[in-house]
Amino acid sequence: MAIALAPMHASPMQGQTRSDPESELRTGIDLTRQGMLAQAIPHLQAASGHVKDGYVAEFNLALCYVGTGQFETAIGILNSLRANGHDTPAMNNLLAQAYVGEGKPQPAIKALEAAAAQSPTDEKLYALVADACNDYKQYELGLQVVNLGLTKLPQSPRLHYERALFLAQLDRFEEAKPEFERAVSLQPEGDIAYLAMVQEALYEDRIPDAVRLARQGIAAGNRNAVLLSLLGTVLLHAGAVPGQPEFAEARTALETSVSERPNNSSAQIALGNLYLLDNKLDDAVTHLEIGRRLEPRNPEVYSHLANAYQRLGERQKAQEMLAILGQLVRQ
């Protein structure tokens, strides 16, 4: 997911029990580190306001709220932290991501600008907010984010790659193509280069090249969650079906991708579709519903969910999905 981890120190104390606030904080932090954000929230809530390092508890709680899509609650916590003197780059960066998720571009840019003023050459500040824009399909905002970053870091391969991606997603591929190539030239052997080459191949409809490049990048040790997602998605697009080695390869790639970046809606939907093809209907619904939460206006997710619910015998839910799909198509 896009969110960055905050300061997570919590000093151990002897004789504590699980009900002790400091112990609850440590448990919440451990769960957050494992990506178990929903499970971490009640422990961090129990610690909030009752521990020595209140900033750590509140920041991690806000981080979990952002990661679980509870943006308004996270924004309230983060603005309270800032009002109480915790005006840090990490706090402003997470606030920007929360505003992206909430669909508020101007406050998002303002928060990012505050983070950039504090730490202008920290690439992650721009890249994490750009990732959030990509996750939530806010491509115009994403372009503003990377353009801001490139004024400070003009030689950043990651920001050139992100800029290319946003331009391509805005149907401006002729502008995107040199940006993809610039990213490759700045980091010819790294994960960004492979992402750029795979995406450029996909936008040019060179599917075999995209598969080859994704495999090549992963084999070289670039096990980037997005690269894995691209490989799995492209293999399914190319016609992989259960029983084929390519289908097993796609499943492994997508399962690994969503475990590392659960807010990637494209990977969640692709994995749900894969399970649907494999007749693992409960697993399909689980991932498709996550995709639906992350991307509620994507018609694809509703057609897959209608199929899954129909096959599970849940006809009312299937009809609900078809009704939403019909509304989206008519808009």
Residue whose entry in the numeric block shows the structure tokens 């109480």: 84
Residue whose entry in the numeric block shows the structure tokens 């800032």: 82
Q: How far is 62 from 289, CA to CA, in rounded Å?
A: 23
Report helix, strand and coil shares of the chain as percent, to nearest 5: 75, 0, 25
- R_g of the chain computed on alpha carbons: 21
Q: How far is 254 from 239, CA to CA, in rounded Å?
A: 16
The secondary structure of 178-199 as a DSSP string is HHHHHHHHHSTTSHHHHHHHHH
Residue ranges for the chain with pLDDT beneath 70: 1-19, 331
Looking at the fold, whether 29 and 61 belong to one and the same domain comes out as: yes
- Residue where one domain finishes, among candidates 221, 249, 280: 221
Domain that holds residue 72: 1-95+105-114
Q: How far is 140 from 195, CA to CA, in rounded Å?
A: 21
Q: Is residue 19 part of a domain?
A: yes
- Residue where one domain finishes, among candidates 195, 221, 247: 221
Looking at the fold, whether 190 and 239 belong to one and the same domain comes out as: no
Q: Assess contact for 138 and 103: CB atoms under 8 A.
A: yes
Q: Is residue 124 part of a domain?
A: no
- pLDDT at position 115 is 96
Looking at the fold, whether 308 and 325 belong to one and the same domain comes out as: yes
Cα torsion 196, 117, 263, 147: sign: negative
User: Which two tokens mark 222?
Assistant: 């670039």
User: Which two tokens mark 220?
Assistant: 């070289």
* CATH classification of the domain holding 214: 1.25.40.10
Looking at the fold, whether 91 and 9 belong to one and the same domain comes out as: yes
- pLDDT at position 14 is 38
Residue burial 25-52, b: 16+ Cβ < 10 Å; e: rest = bbbbbebbeeeebeebbebbebbbeebe
User: Which two tokens mark 72?
Assistant: 């308004």
Looking at the fold, whether 207 and 247 belong to one and the same domain comes out as: no
Q: Is residue 233 part of a domain?
A: yes
What is the DSSP code (8-state) at residue 119?
S
- Packing angle between helix 139-152 and helix 105-118, nearest 10 degrees? 20
- Residue where one domain finishes, among candidates 221, 242, 263: 221
Q: Is residue 121 part of a domain?
A: no
- pLDDT at position 160 is 98
* CATH classification of the domain holding 52: 1.25.40
Q: What is the pTM of this model?
A: 0.82
Q: Is residue 100 part of a domain?
A: no
Contacts of 101 (CB under 8 A, 6+ apart): 66, 69, 71, 132, 136
Cα torsion 101, 107, 113, 117: sign: negative
- pLDDT at position 2 is 58
Looking at the fold, whether 204 and 255 belong to one and the same domain comes out as: no
Looking at the fold, whether 329 and 236 belong to one and the same domain comes out as: yes
- pLDDT at position 4 is 56
What is the DSSP code (8-state) at residue 295?
-
Q: How far is 196 from 17, CA to CA, in rounded Å?
A: 50
Looking at the fold, whether 58 and 156 belong to one and the same domain comes out as: no
Q: How many domains, the chain? A: 3
Q: Which of 161, 153, 87, 151 is nearest to 121 (CA)?
A: 153
- pLDDT at position 205 is 94
Q: Which of 147, 94, 177 is nearest to 139 (CA)?
A: 147
Looking at the fold, whether 182 and 274 belong to one and the same domain comes out as: no
Q: Assess contact for 146 and 163: CB atoms under 8 A.
A: yes
Looking at the fold, whether 8 and 109 belong to one and the same domain comes out as: yes
Q: Is residue 80 part of a domain?
A: yes
Looking at the fold, whether 185 and 227 belong to one and the same domain comes out as: no
Looking at the fold, whether 189 and 231 belong to one and the same domain comes out as: no
What is the DSSP code (8-state) at residue 240?
-
How many CA atoms lie within 13 Å of 153's alpha carbon, on the beta-carbon side? Answer: 23
User: Which two tokens mark 74?
Assistant: 């996270």
Q: Assess contact for 123 and 147: CB atoms under 8 A.
A: no
Q: How many CB atoms lie within 10 A of CB 154?
A: 10
- pLDDT at position 69 is 84
Cα torsion 243, 245, 251, 256: sign: positive
